[in-house]
Amino acid sequence: MSRAQNYQPHPSESKVILALDQGTTSSRAMVFNASGEIVAVSQEEFTQLYPQPGWVEHDPEEIWATQNAVMGRALLRAGLDWSKVAAIGVTNQRETTVVWDRETGQPIYPAIVWQDRRTADICQRLQDEGLEELFRSRSGLLLDPYLSGTKIRWILDQVTGAQQRAEAGELAFGTIDSWLIWKLTAGRVHATDATNASRTLLFDIHKGDWDDELLGLLGIPRAVLPEVRDSSGFAAPISCPGIPSGAVIAGVAGDQQAALFGQICNRPGLAKATYGTGGFVLLNTGSTAVPSANGLLTTIAWRRDGKDQYALEGSVFIAGAVVQWLRDGLGIIRKSAEIEELASSVPDSGGVHLVPAFVGLGAPWWDAQARGIITGLTRGTSSAHIARAALEAIALQICDVAQAMEADAGMQLEELRVDGGAAANDLLLQTQADLLGVPVVRPQTYETTALGAAYLAGLAVGFWRDEEQIAAQWQMERRFDPAITRGQAQQRIDDWHRAVARARG
């Protein structure tokens, strides 16, 4: 899709961008106006399936049904019809893997979610064969069950006849973006964008294409793979019951990369942290794919006009999810937001540390065998201390990956821009600034994931003129400055690392 160079959107213009944000726990649709403001939102949670310890699945049809429902509802709430939608942006939980039949469109197995650990053995086998360095140098990733490649291998092994059908071109693989795009285009488009492709273990991030050697090592036929397109300028016309023709998907990116774009971290050295189910720090490294020596991932930040920009990423598996566990597992809060008041009722965690390694540990440890622990309990420990330790654990994990990032990139962060559901928590963000020793900055719109997808789509169709125009829309809501000494922070980080050592497998 070519960019309309001379297009000058007028603020009163009634056209909008529709962003579809398919997250780990809910499907959301958001309508944005030309000022980058949210006009309407609709959100629906869907079922989390835990068929065995360490396994996490979603029903792809439920993902589609909830996403389909919320996009109609968001437009209805905005009082608009499809003719007002200038373009659609899609952003998604990454790595989650769906394999479906090209003929019937039916998934052959539930979606295996990014948090799922069932392929630890496949990863171990590849490590034992000495292949980690090859995968790392080509794909920028590590051999961990987190990434899609071994999940595809598992499905092709476990579903009867799947390998032969994959080789015969009868099956399609996709991350959630591809699955939604397939549904939205009535099976006419089987495509993904470069950011999502870069999370599969199958993609050479330097060449920007699928890698036959990596595919061969995992026994995955090329025939199952989607075409890889730009993140901005995706150009997939919608063909879907209830939607008039003319609507186009013009932007697609994995949710963390979309948040980086939505936070206008568009220059090397700018970083953001998103606190959703997991916690993800991404640092823009420009046109250089910086390899990590400290347990981070190298990933594609976005592809525009055929050119890839790169980021370093620290992926923390459990962030807001630990708050959900206090709510649903322990029952010590009724709503996620209540954690702040409870945790603020004590001055500190009273020596308690909670390591939320519920699905192992991601960056920088990459320990699939680690499991959650609470240390330092005494007769004086209350639910408030545990709540405080849980919030500190989120901040400490983000601190670990941010420090690894500074070491890899050979630079100091100047500030950290934050977003995601748990970024609403002031105590969490103050703790984050204290531990990191840099200002933590929260923008007016925390929904930067959806905003980033909207920007990628809107830039492609000329709804926004250029990056300068969207950068001018970013506004700070609050800044949290460090309020403890580096010595005090280091003491807390050292105590945390002792607890982490005890949680590891």
Ligand X SMILES: O=P(O)(O)OC[C@H](O)CO
Ligand Y SMILES: Nc1ncnc2c1ncn2[C@@H]1O[C@H](COP(=O)(O)OP(=O)(O)O)[C@@H](O)[C@H]1O
Which residues are near ligand X by CB under 6 A? 23-24, 93-95, 114, 254-256, 276-278, 315
Nearest CB to ligand X, comparing residues 277 and 431: 277
Other CB atoms within 10 Å distance of the CB of residue 97: 28
For residue 163, the partner it binds in ligand Y, ligand X, none, with Cβ less than 5 to 8 A by kind, is none
Residues of the binding site: 24-26, 28, 94-95, 146, 255-256, 277, 320, 324, 421, 425
Beta-carbon contacts of 121 under 8 Å, excluding residues fewer than 6 positions away, are: none
Name the residue nearer to ligand Y (CB basis): 201 or 395.
395
Tokens of 493: 């980080």
- Please identify which residue in 25, 294, 381, 382 interacts with ligand Y, judged by CB under 6 A: 25
Judged by beta carbon, residue 218 or residue 418, the one nearer ligand Y is 418
Contacting residue, 184, 393, 422, 456, with ligand Y by CB under 6 A: 422
For residue 496, the SS3 value is helix
User: Using CB under 6 A as the criterion, what x/- string covers residues 441-480 for binding ligand Y?
Assistant: ----------------------------------------
Residue 221's binding partner, choosing from ligand Y, ligand X, none, with beta-carbon cut-off 5 to 8 A by kind?
none
The one-letter amino acid at 86: A
Spatial separation of the C-alpha atoms in residues 265 and 284, rounded to whole Å? 7
Of the candidates 390, 486, 478, the residue with the CA atom closest to the CA atom of residue 437: 486
Other beta carbons less than 10 A from residue 249's beta carbon: 27
ω before 356 within 30° of 0 (cis)? no
Q: Name which of 144 and 308 has its Cβ closer to ligand X.
A: 144
Binding segment toward ligand Y, per CB under 6 A, in 124-132, 182-190, 315-323, 481-489: 315-323
Q: Give the nearer residue to ligand X in terms of CB position, either 254 or 462.
A: 254
CA distances from 15 to 43, 79, 90, 180, 446 (A): 22, 12, 18, 23, 22
- For ligand Y, give the closer residue by CB, 24 or 148: 24
CA 132 vs. chain centroid, Å, equals 23
- Look up residue 251 and give its DSSP letter: E
* Distance, CA of 198 to CA of 167 (rounded, Å): 22
DSSP annotation of 358: B
Q: Which 254-293 positions form the footprint of ligand Y (CB under 6 A)?
A: 276-277
SS3 label, residue 318: coil
422 binds, among ligand Y, ligand X, none (CB under 5 to 8 A by kind): ligand Y
Among 131, 159, 424, 493, binds ligand Y (CB under 6 A): 424
Question: Residue 337 interacts with ligand Y (CB under 6 A)?
Answer: yes
Interface residues toward ligand Y, by CB under 6 A: 23-26, 276-277, 320-321, 323-324, 336-337, 339-340, 420-422, 424-425
